[in-house]
Amino acid sequence: MNTEFVEIDINNIDDELMTRAGDVIKSGGLVAFPTETVYGLGGDALNPSSSKKIYEAKGRPSDNPLIVHIADMESLESIVSDIPDMARKLADALWPGPLTMIFNKSDKVPYETTGGLDTVAVRMPDNKIALEFIRKAGGYVAAPSANKSGRPSTTKASHVMEDMSGRIDMIIDGGSSTIGLESTIVDLTGSVPMILRPGYISMKRLSKLVGEVEFDPAIVNVDAKSAPKAPGMKYKHYAPKGELAIIKGDAEKVISYIQAQSKKALSEGERVGIIATDETYLNYQATVVQNIGSKDDEETIARRLYAVLRDFDADDITRIYSEDFDTPNMGQAIMNRLIKAAGHTIIQL
């Protein structure tokens, strides 16, 4: 398949190109598009064969449901069986934005899109290109992150090209994602809203709007016996090709441990990558030392994380050591992704 690549200026959106992209979706094709979180791999959410194509293009297990992206509240009414008051409050305050809500689905949404579930995940992205594209596509775009299953998510069109060239019809380049981590997912089908995946919107922020909010126990405690309620959370994810370990503990000990491990691995012929911060990176020698930003600037750490992991792949890094990022708001989301990328290899000093 020939993948068409188009660039769109977010401040001057080309109507003709967007109409063409929308038509690709309406005729059952796939288009990758920018959002504020990560790039999405879009297909018509109401067309079962489009959803099947998305799973194929990603190599994603088909029990892992897709998020339906909408551009206005009216669209929500027809794909869910009811809208709880709390969901309206959250939508009023946080949509468009990096929050995905789980509802009971209506008959309009095929099971191919929901991975066989009676619930549907819905989000209104905060990106002008994405919103215009969804409108042109008929209003309902199913879109997981536009990466091959198991690889780090894509935050730039060039990342999407790496993974999806030849597998989808079109890629819309709309610049880098401003947030860089996937949305917070909150389930509103029970009496208390439950966070199924941590993201940019913190629990504190949700609680301020709707009162008590809980975490899916399976994502807080990795050893929990129960499976996570978001099927996607059970898969290894976001992984770079090199073996990644996260080192936790007292800052000075972490630096000297990582530096010692790096030296040893280099002497054994490994290509070593280190994820460090403004405050620490000068302490390290490795094949590649990535300074992800100041340890106090969690927005930057979140935005750069996937690009850093992908850069290690481009440099053929075989062994990666990362400091941990215990930041106040997004720390949980950042660490959730990093721990998965590390396949749960955490060394506590």
For binding to ligand AMP (CB under 6 A), which residues are involved?
Answer: 64-65, 67, 102, 114, 117, 119-121, 144-145, 182, 185, 196-197, 229-233
Nearer to Mg ion, 306 or 321 (CB): 306
- Please report, for residues 77, 99, 171, 324, 337, the alpha-carbon distance to residue 184 in angstroms, rounded to integers and kept in the order given: 21, 5, 25, 20, 12
Q: Whole-number minimum distance, CB 26 to ligand AMP, in Å? A: 21
Nearer to ligand AMP, 184 or 290 (CB): 184
**Of ligand AMP, Mg ion, none, which one sits near residue 123, judging by CB under 5 to 8 A according to partner kind?**
none
**Of Mg ion, ligand AMP, none, which one sits near residue 18, judging by CB under 5 to 8 A according to partner kind?**
none
| Cis ω for the linkage preceding 96 (within 30 of 0) | yes
The site that binds Mg ion (CB under 5 A) totals a number of residues, namely 1
**Of Mg ion, ligand AMP, none, which one sits near residue 213, judging by CB under 5 to 8 A according to partner kind?**
none
**Of Mg ion, ligand AMP, none, which one sits near residue 172, judging by CB under 5 to 8 A according to partner kind?**
none
* Helix or strand holding residue 283 (H, E): none
* Residue 287 DSSP one-character state: S
Nearer to Mg ion, 40 or 96 (CB): 40
Q: Which of 231, 130, 230, 141 is nearest to 179 (CA)?
A: 130
DSSP string of 180-236, one letter each residue:
-SPPEEEE-SSSS-EEEE--SS-HHHHHHHHS--EE-HHHH-TT-SSPPSSGGGGS-
Q: Whole-number minimum distance, CB 39 to ligand AMP, in Å? A: 11
Residue nearest to ligand AMP (CB): 232
Nearer to Mg ion, 163 or 270 (CB): 163
Q: Whole-number minimum distance, CB 232 to ligand AMP, in Å? A: 2
**Of ligand AMP, Mg ion, none, which one sits near residue 175, judging by CB under 5 to 8 A according to partner kind?**
none
The position carrying tokens 């922020």 is 205
Interface segment toward Mg ion; rule CB under 5 A; list 90-98, 101-109, 114-122, 144-152: 144-152
Q: Which of 236, 326, 330, 312 is nearest to 274 (CA)?
A: 312
Q: What sign does the CA torsion over 311, 315, 318, 321 have?
A: negative
Nearer to ligand AMP, 132 or 187 (CB): 187
Q: What sign does the CA torsion over 157, 161, 167, 172 have?
A: positive
Nearer to ligand AMP, 143 or 292 (CB): 143
**Of ligand AMP, Mg ion, none, which one sits near residue 185, judging by CB under 5 to 8 A according to partner kind?**
ligand AMP
Instruction: Report the C-alpha gap between 99 and 233 in whole angstroms.
Output: 16
Nearer to Mg ion, 255 or 335 (CB): 335
**Of Mg ion, ligand AMP, none, which one sits near residue 102, judging by CB under 5 to 8 A according to partner kind?**
ligand AMP
145 binds Mg ion (CB under 5 A): yes
- Per the CB < 8 A criterion, the answer to whether 116 and 63 are in contact is yes
- Which ranges of the chain would DSSP assign to H, the alpha helix? 15-26, 48-58, 73-79, 85-94, 111-114, 128-136, 157-164, 203-210, 217-220, 251-267, 298-314, 331-341
Q: Whole-number minimum distance, CB 121 to ligand AMP, in Å? A: 3
Q: Whole-number minimum distance, CB 232 to Mg ion, in Å? A: 7
Instruction: Report the C-alpha gap between 274 and 292 in whole angstroms.
Output: 10
Which residues are near Mg ion by CB under 5 A?
145
